[in-house]
A = this chain, B = another copy of it.
Amino acid sequence: MTERDLVLVGFGNVGRRFVRLIDELRDRLEQREHASFRVIGLATGRHGSMFDPRGIDGARACAVVEAGERLLPGAFSSTSGVACRDAFDVIARAAASSPGGRAALLETTTLNVEDGEPAASHLIAALDAGVHAITANKGPVACRYAEIAARAARARRTFRFEGAVMDGIPVFNLAREALRGVEVTGVRGVVNSTTQFILAEMERGVSFEAALAEMQRKGIAEADATLDVDGWDAAAKIAALANVLMDARITPADVDRTGITALTPGDLREAIDAGERLRLVGSARRVAGRITARVAPTRVPASELFAQLPGMANALTYETDLLDEITVIQGGGGLVQTAYALLSDLLSLPAPE
Protein backbone atom coordinates (compact mmCIF):
# COMPACT_ATOMS: atom_id res chain seq x y z
CA MET A 1 0.00 0.00 0.00
CA THR A 2 1.38 3.42 -1.02
CA GLU A 3 0.47 6.06 1.57
CA ARG A 4 0.61 9.67 0.50
CA ASP A 5 0.43 12.84 2.53
CA LEU A 6 -1.30 15.64 0.68
CA VAL A 7 -1.08 19.41 0.86
CA LEU A 8 -3.83 21.39 -0.86
CA VAL A 9 -3.01 24.96 -1.81
CA GLY A 10 -6.19 26.56 -3.03
CA PHE A 11 -9.37 25.09 -1.60
CA GLY A 12 -12.06 26.31 -3.96
CA ASN A 13 -14.54 24.23 -5.95
CA VAL A 14 -11.88 21.97 -7.48
CA GLY A 15 -9.93 21.42 -4.27
CA ARG A 16 -13.03 20.59 -2.28
CA ARG A 17 -14.39 18.27 -4.99
CA PHE A 18 -11.04 16.48 -4.96
CA VAL A 19 -11.14 15.96 -1.20
CA ARG A 20 -14.64 14.52 -1.46
CA LEU A 21 -13.66 12.36 -4.45
CA ILE A 22 -10.84 10.60 -2.61
CA ASP A 23 -13.27 9.97 0.24
CA GLU A 24 -15.86 8.52 -2.15
CA LEU A 25 -13.30 6.32 -3.90
CA ARG A 26 -11.39 5.25 -0.77
CA ASP A 27 -12.21 1.52 -1.08
CA ARG A 28 -11.56 1.37 -4.81
CA LEU A 29 -8.24 3.19 -4.44
CA GLU A 30 -7.06 0.93 -1.65
CA GLN A 31 -8.14 -2.31 -3.28
CA ARG A 32 -7.31 -1.70 -6.92
CA GLU A 33 -4.59 0.94 -6.83
CA HIS A 34 -3.09 0.03 -3.45
CA ALA A 35 -3.04 3.70 -2.60
CA SER A 36 -4.27 5.62 0.42
CA PHE A 37 -4.28 9.38 0.89
CA ARG A 38 -4.27 11.65 3.90
CA VAL A 39 -4.61 15.44 3.82
CA ILE A 40 -2.03 17.01 6.14
CA GLY A 41 -2.04 20.62 4.95
CA LEU A 42 -4.55 23.15 3.66
CA ALA A 43 -3.88 26.68 2.44
CA THR A 44 -6.90 28.78 1.56
CA GLY A 45 -7.28 32.36 0.40
CA ARG A 46 -9.83 33.55 2.95
CA HIS A 47 -10.27 30.78 5.52
CA GLY A 48 -6.78 30.48 6.95
CA SER A 49 -4.12 27.81 6.48
CA MET A 50 -3.33 24.81 8.64
CA PHE A 51 -1.06 21.82 9.04
CA ASP A 52 -1.75 18.61 10.93
CA PRO A 53 0.56 15.62 10.42
CA ARG A 54 -2.08 13.35 11.98
CA GLY A 55 -4.44 14.14 9.12
CA ILE A 56 -7.18 16.70 8.54
CA ASP A 57 -10.82 15.64 8.23
CA GLY A 58 -11.48 16.64 4.62
CA ALA A 59 -15.28 16.54 4.73
CA ARG A 60 -15.27 18.79 7.77
CA ALA A 61 -12.82 21.22 6.16
CA CYS A 62 -15.11 21.47 3.13
CA ALA A 63 -18.10 22.21 5.35
CA VAL A 64 -16.20 24.84 7.35
CA VAL A 65 -15.07 26.68 4.22
CA GLU A 66 -18.51 26.45 2.60
CA ALA A 67 -20.05 27.94 5.74
CA GLY A 68 -17.67 30.90 5.34
CA GLU A 69 -15.80 30.10 8.55
CA ARG A 70 -12.10 29.84 9.36
CA LEU A 71 -10.16 26.61 9.74
CA LEU A 72 -7.69 27.65 12.39
CA PRO A 73 -8.05 29.52 14.64
CA GLY A 74 -11.67 28.41 14.32
CA ALA A 75 -13.37 25.10 13.61
CA PHE A 76 -10.22 22.99 13.93
CA SER A 77 -8.98 24.58 17.18
CA SER A 78 -9.68 21.42 19.22
CA THR A 79 -7.47 19.27 16.94
CA SER A 80 -3.73 18.73 16.89
CA GLY A 81 -3.47 21.05 13.87
CA VAL A 82 -1.50 24.28 13.86
CA ALA A 83 -2.33 27.50 12.05
CA CYS A 84 0.11 28.45 9.31
CA ARG A 85 1.22 31.79 7.94
CA ASP A 86 0.60 30.98 4.28
CA ALA A 87 0.91 28.30 1.56
CA PHE A 88 4.73 28.31 1.75
CA ASP A 89 4.60 27.70 5.49
CA VAL A 90 2.24 24.72 4.99
CA ILE A 91 4.45 23.27 2.24
CA ALA A 92 7.62 23.61 4.34
CA ARG A 93 6.04 21.85 7.32
CA ALA A 94 4.71 19.02 5.14
CA ALA A 95 8.12 18.58 3.50
CA ALA A 96 9.78 18.29 6.92
CA SER A 97 7.27 15.84 8.34
CA SER A 98 6.84 13.63 5.21
CA PRO A 99 10.27 13.19 3.59
CA GLY A 100 11.32 10.71 0.90
CA GLY A 101 8.79 11.67 -1.76
CA ARG A 102 5.83 10.73 0.39
CA ALA A 103 4.23 14.20 0.26
CA ALA A 104 2.48 15.76 -2.74
CA LEU A 105 1.23 19.29 -3.33
CA LEU A 106 -2.12 19.74 -5.09
CA GLU A 107 -2.17 23.28 -6.43
CA THR A 108 -5.55 24.73 -7.46
CA THR A 109 -5.25 28.49 -7.10
CA THR A 110 -6.83 30.66 -9.81
CA LEU A 111 -5.53 31.07 -13.32
CA ASN A 112 -3.06 33.79 -14.16
CA VAL A 113 -2.15 33.74 -17.86
CA GLU A 114 0.53 36.42 -17.57
CA ASP A 115 3.11 34.74 -15.38
CA GLY A 116 1.41 31.69 -13.82
CA GLU A 117 1.72 33.14 -10.31
CA PRO A 118 1.24 32.41 -7.47
CA ALA A 119 0.84 28.79 -8.64
CA ALA A 120 4.34 28.59 -10.16
CA SER A 121 6.00 29.70 -6.91
CA HIS A 122 3.99 27.18 -4.90
CA LEU A 123 5.00 24.36 -7.25
CA ILE A 124 8.66 25.38 -7.17
CA ALA A 125 8.67 25.69 -3.37
CA ALA A 126 7.27 22.17 -3.13
CA LEU A 127 9.73 20.61 -5.58
CA ASP A 128 12.72 22.36 -4.01
CA ALA A 129 11.62 20.95 -0.64
CA GLY A 130 11.29 17.40 -2.02
CA VAL A 131 7.50 17.40 -2.39
CA HIS A 132 5.90 16.17 -5.65
CA ALA A 133 3.98 18.99 -7.37
CA ILE A 134 0.60 18.54 -9.06
CA THR A 135 -1.58 21.30 -10.44
CA ALA A 136 -4.89 21.65 -12.26
CA ASN A 137 -3.86 25.20 -13.18
CA LYS A 138 -2.74 25.80 -16.75
CA GLY A 139 -0.95 29.06 -15.86
CA PRO A 140 2.36 27.61 -14.68
CA VAL A 141 2.49 25.04 -17.52
CA ALA A 142 1.69 27.69 -20.11
CA CYS A 143 4.12 30.28 -18.72
CA ARG A 144 7.00 28.46 -17.03
CA TYR A 145 6.96 24.78 -17.90
CA ALA A 146 10.64 24.29 -18.75
CA GLU A 147 11.80 25.98 -15.56
CA ILE A 148 9.49 23.99 -13.29
CA ALA A 149 10.27 20.71 -15.08
CA ALA A 150 13.99 21.38 -14.61
CA ARG A 151 13.46 22.02 -10.90
CA ALA A 152 11.56 18.74 -10.64
CA ALA A 153 14.35 16.83 -12.38
CA ARG A 154 16.96 18.39 -10.10
CA ALA A 155 14.95 17.51 -6.98
CA ARG A 156 14.15 14.03 -8.34
CA ARG A 157 10.49 14.77 -7.81
CA THR A 158 7.55 14.73 -10.24
CA PHE A 159 5.63 17.65 -11.76
CA ARG A 160 2.19 16.74 -13.13
CA PHE A 161 -0.65 18.86 -14.56
CA GLU A 162 -3.21 16.63 -16.29
CA GLY A 163 -6.09 18.93 -15.30
CA ALA A 164 -4.59 21.92 -17.12
CA VAL A 165 -6.18 20.97 -20.47
CA MET A 166 -9.51 19.15 -21.05
CA ASP A 167 -10.04 18.35 -17.36
CA GLY A 168 -9.54 14.68 -16.61
CA ILE A 169 -9.15 13.58 -20.24
CA PRO A 170 -5.56 12.35 -20.16
CA VAL A 171 -4.12 14.54 -22.94
CA PHE A 172 -0.65 14.73 -21.37
CA ASN A 173 -0.54 11.24 -19.86
CA LEU A 174 -1.56 9.76 -23.20
CA ALA A 175 1.39 11.35 -24.96
CA ARG A 176 3.85 10.58 -22.15
CA GLU A 177 2.85 6.98 -21.46
CA ALA A 178 1.28 5.75 -24.66
CA LEU A 179 3.06 7.59 -27.48
CA ARG A 180 6.65 6.93 -26.46
CA GLY A 181 8.98 7.07 -29.42
CA VAL A 182 6.43 9.05 -31.44
CA GLU A 183 7.15 12.64 -32.45
CA VAL A 184 4.25 15.05 -31.93
CA THR A 185 4.70 17.49 -34.79
CA GLY A 186 1.65 19.60 -34.07
CA VAL A 187 -1.57 19.93 -32.08
CA ARG A 188 -4.86 21.55 -32.94
CA GLY A 189 -8.05 21.65 -30.99
CA VAL A 190 -11.28 23.15 -29.78
CA VAL A 191 -10.36 23.54 -26.13
CA ASN A 192 -12.67 26.17 -24.62
CA SER A 193 -16.22 25.22 -23.66
CA THR A 194 -17.61 28.69 -23.03
CA THR A 195 -16.84 29.90 -26.54
CA GLN A 196 -18.16 26.60 -27.98
CA PHE A 197 -21.48 27.28 -26.29
CA ILE A 198 -21.63 30.94 -27.31
CA LEU A 199 -20.91 30.14 -30.96
CA ALA A 200 -23.62 27.46 -31.00
CA GLU A 201 -26.11 29.96 -29.55
CA MET A 202 -25.10 32.60 -32.06
CA GLU A 203 -25.69 30.08 -34.86
CA ARG A 204 -29.29 29.98 -33.64
CA GLY A 205 -29.43 33.78 -34.04
CA VAL A 206 -28.78 34.75 -30.42
CA SER A 207 -26.47 37.74 -29.99
CA PHE A 208 -23.01 37.36 -28.47
CA GLU A 209 -24.04 39.42 -25.43
CA ALA A 210 -27.20 37.39 -24.77
CA ALA A 211 -25.38 34.06 -25.15
CA LEU A 212 -22.64 35.15 -22.77
CA ALA A 213 -25.18 36.42 -20.25
CA GLU A 214 -26.92 33.02 -20.32
CA MET A 215 -23.62 31.22 -19.65
CA GLN A 216 -23.00 33.52 -16.69
CA ARG A 217 -26.55 33.06 -15.39
CA LYS A 218 -26.00 29.29 -15.47
CA GLY A 219 -22.69 29.70 -13.61
CA ILE A 220 -20.65 28.16 -16.43
CA ALA A 221 -18.83 31.30 -17.50
CA GLU A 222 -17.11 33.50 -14.95
CA ALA A 223 -18.50 36.97 -14.20
CA ASP A 224 -15.32 38.16 -15.91
CA ALA A 225 -15.45 36.03 -19.03
CA THR A 226 -12.74 37.92 -20.89
CA LEU A 227 -10.28 35.04 -20.39
CA ASP A 228 -12.65 32.86 -22.39
CA VAL A 229 -14.06 35.16 -25.05
CA ASP A 230 -10.76 36.93 -25.80
CA GLY A 231 -9.12 33.54 -26.35
CA TRP A 232 -6.70 33.73 -23.40
CA ASP A 233 -7.88 30.45 -21.89
CA ALA A 234 -7.42 28.64 -25.22
CA ALA A 235 -4.07 30.36 -25.77
CA ALA A 236 -2.85 29.20 -22.36
CA LYS A 237 -3.90 25.62 -23.16
CA ILE A 238 -2.18 25.69 -26.55
CA ALA A 239 0.96 27.13 -24.97
CA ALA A 240 0.88 24.39 -22.32
CA LEU A 241 0.47 21.66 -24.95
CA ALA A 242 3.25 23.08 -27.11
CA ASN A 243 5.62 23.43 -24.16
CA VAL A 244 5.06 19.89 -22.90
CA LEU A 245 4.53 17.89 -26.10
CA MET A 246 6.70 19.83 -28.54
CA ASP A 247 9.42 21.22 -26.31
CA ALA A 248 8.41 24.80 -27.10
CA ARG A 249 9.40 27.63 -24.81
CA ILE A 250 6.41 29.90 -25.26
CA THR A 251 3.90 31.71 -23.08
CA PRO A 252 0.24 32.58 -23.79
CA ALA A 253 1.41 36.03 -24.94
CA ASP A 254 3.41 34.35 -27.73
CA VAL A 255 0.23 32.81 -29.17
CA ASP A 256 -1.22 34.74 -32.13
CA ARG A 257 -4.62 35.25 -30.53
CA THR A 258 -8.02 36.45 -31.75
CA GLY A 259 -11.13 36.03 -29.59
CA ILE A 260 -14.77 35.76 -30.61
CA THR A 261 -16.05 39.16 -29.46
CA ALA A 262 -16.02 40.68 -32.95
CA LEU A 263 -18.13 37.90 -34.47
CA THR A 264 -21.76 38.55 -35.41
CA PRO A 265 -24.60 36.06 -35.95
CA GLY A 266 -24.27 37.09 -39.60
CA ASP A 267 -20.68 35.83 -39.72
CA LEU A 268 -21.78 32.46 -38.39
CA ARG A 269 -24.71 32.19 -40.77
CA GLU A 270 -22.45 33.08 -43.67
CA ALA A 271 -20.12 30.20 -42.73
CA ILE A 272 -23.06 27.79 -42.50
CA ASP A 273 -24.31 28.93 -45.92
CA ALA A 274 -20.85 28.10 -47.29
CA GLY A 275 -20.99 24.55 -45.84
CA GLU A 276 -18.71 25.48 -42.96
CA ARG A 277 -18.85 26.35 -39.26
CA LEU A 278 -16.96 28.98 -37.29
CA ARG A 279 -15.11 27.50 -34.33
CA LEU A 280 -12.46 28.88 -31.99
CA VAL A 281 -9.56 26.66 -33.02
CA GLY A 282 -6.17 26.65 -31.35
CA SER A 283 -3.07 25.13 -32.89
CA ALA A 284 0.68 24.83 -32.53
CA ARG A 285 3.09 23.55 -35.14
CA ARG A 286 6.81 23.33 -35.62
CA VAL A 287 7.62 25.11 -38.87
CA ALA A 288 11.27 25.26 -39.95
CA GLY A 289 12.37 24.56 -36.38
CA ARG A 290 10.23 27.33 -34.90
CA ILE A 291 6.95 26.89 -33.00
CA THR A 292 4.03 28.90 -34.33
CA ALA A 293 0.94 28.96 -32.14
CA ARG A 294 -2.42 30.46 -32.91
CA VAL A 295 -5.95 30.81 -31.52
CA ALA A 296 -8.60 32.28 -33.80
CA PRO A 297 -12.16 31.87 -35.05
CA THR A 298 -11.65 29.46 -37.94
CA ARG A 299 -13.95 28.27 -40.69
CA VAL A 300 -14.08 24.48 -40.56
CA PRO A 301 -15.84 22.33 -43.21
CA ALA A 302 -19.16 21.15 -41.74
CA SER A 303 -18.16 17.53 -42.34
CA GLU A 304 -15.08 17.74 -40.12
CA LEU A 305 -15.03 16.62 -36.52
CA PHE A 306 -14.34 20.05 -35.04
CA ALA A 307 -17.54 21.31 -36.66
CA GLN A 308 -19.57 18.36 -35.36
CA LEU A 309 -18.71 18.45 -31.67
CA PRO A 310 -21.85 18.10 -29.59
CA GLY A 311 -22.75 20.67 -26.92
CA MET A 312 -19.72 21.98 -25.08
CA ALA A 313 -17.49 19.03 -26.02
CA ASN A 314 -13.79 19.71 -26.57
CA ALA A 315 -11.47 17.95 -28.99
CA LEU A 316 -7.74 17.75 -29.45
CA THR A 317 -5.89 16.33 -32.45
CA TYR A 318 -2.26 15.24 -32.17
CA GLU A 319 -0.35 15.40 -35.43
CA THR A 320 2.39 12.76 -35.29
CA ASP A 321 5.10 11.35 -37.48
CA LEU A 322 4.38 7.65 -36.99
CA LEU A 323 0.68 7.41 -36.22
CA ASP A 324 -0.80 10.00 -38.56
CA GLU A 325 -3.43 11.90 -36.54
CA ILE A 326 -5.04 10.92 -33.26
CA THR A 327 -8.04 12.83 -31.97
CA VAL A 328 -9.36 12.72 -28.42
CA ILE A 329 -12.85 13.99 -27.69
CA GLN A 330 -14.10 14.95 -24.27
CA GLY A 331 -17.75 14.06 -23.88
CA GLY A 332 -18.34 15.92 -20.67
CA GLY A 333 -16.28 18.22 -18.47
CA GLY A 334 -16.75 19.68 -15.06
CA LEU A 335 -15.62 19.70 -11.47
CA VAL A 336 -15.45 15.96 -10.94
CA GLN A 337 -13.37 15.54 -14.09
CA THR A 338 -10.90 18.19 -12.99
CA ALA A 339 -10.76 16.66 -9.52
CA TYR A 340 -10.09 13.28 -11.14
CA ALA A 341 -7.20 14.80 -13.08
CA LEU A 342 -5.50 15.56 -9.75
CA LEU A 343 -6.13 12.01 -8.58
CA SER A 344 -4.84 10.56 -11.86
CA ASP A 345 -1.63 12.56 -11.42
CA LEU A 346 -1.30 11.34 -7.83
CA LEU A 347 -1.64 7.72 -8.96
CA SER A 348 1.13 8.22 -11.53
CA LEU A 349 3.73 9.34 -8.95
CA PRO A 350 6.71 7.07 -8.28
CA ALA A 351 6.61 5.09 -5.06
CA PRO A 352 8.12 6.88 -2.02
CA GLU A 353 11.77 6.15 -1.30
Binding site for B on A (CB under 8 A): 21, 25, 28-29, 32-33, 167-170, 173-174, 177-183, 303-305, 308, 310, 317, 322-333, 336-337, 340, 343-344, 347-348
The listed residue (B168, B308, B322, B327) touching A336 by CB distance below 8 A is B322
A305 adjacent to B329 (CB under 8 Å)? yes
A181 adjacent to B332 (CB under 8 Å)? no
20 sampled A-B residue pairs with Cβ under 8 A: A21-B322, A28-B181, A28-B183, A170-B179, A173-B177, A177-B177, A178-B178, A180-B347, A181-B340, A182-B340, A303-B308, A305-B308, A305-B329, A323-B331, A323-B332, A323-B340, A325-B332, A326-B329, A327-B329, A329-B329
A317 — nearest CB in chain B belongs to which residue?
Answer: B331
Q: A28 CA to B182 CA in the complex, in Å?
A: 9
Q: A353 CA to B267 CA in the complex, in Å?
A: 63
A328 adjacent to B325 (CB under 8 Å)? no
Q: A90 CA to B308 CA in the complex, in Å?
A: 51
Residues of B within 8 A of A21 (CB): 322
Q: A327 CA to B173 CA in the complex, in Å?
A: 15
Q: A178 CA to B172 CA in the complex, in Å?
A: 9
Residues of B within 8 A of A25 (CB): 181
Residues of B within 8 A of A332 (CB): 323-325
Question: Closest Cβ of chain B: how far from A252's Cβ, in Å?
Answer: 25
Question: Closest Cβ of chain B: how far from A265's Cβ, in Å?
Answer: 21
The listed residue (B183, B305, B330) touching A326 by CB distance below 8 A is B330
Residues of B within 8 A of A179 (CB): 170, 344
Question: Closest Cβ of chain B: how far from A312's Cβ, in Å?
Answer: 11
Residues of B within 8 A of A167 (CB): 323
Question: Closest Cβ of chain B: how far from A20's Cβ, in Å?
Answer: 13
B331 adjacent to A325 (CB under 8 Å)? yes
Q: A96 CA to B318 CA in the complex, in Å?
A: 42
Q: A178 CA to B168 CA in the complex, in Å?
A: 9
The listed residue (B29, B177, B305) touching A181 by CB distance below 8 A is B29
Residues of B within 8 A of A326 (CB): 169, 328-331
With contact pairs A174-B170, A326-B328, A326-B330 given, residues A180 and B344 touching in the complex (Cβ less than 8 Å): yes
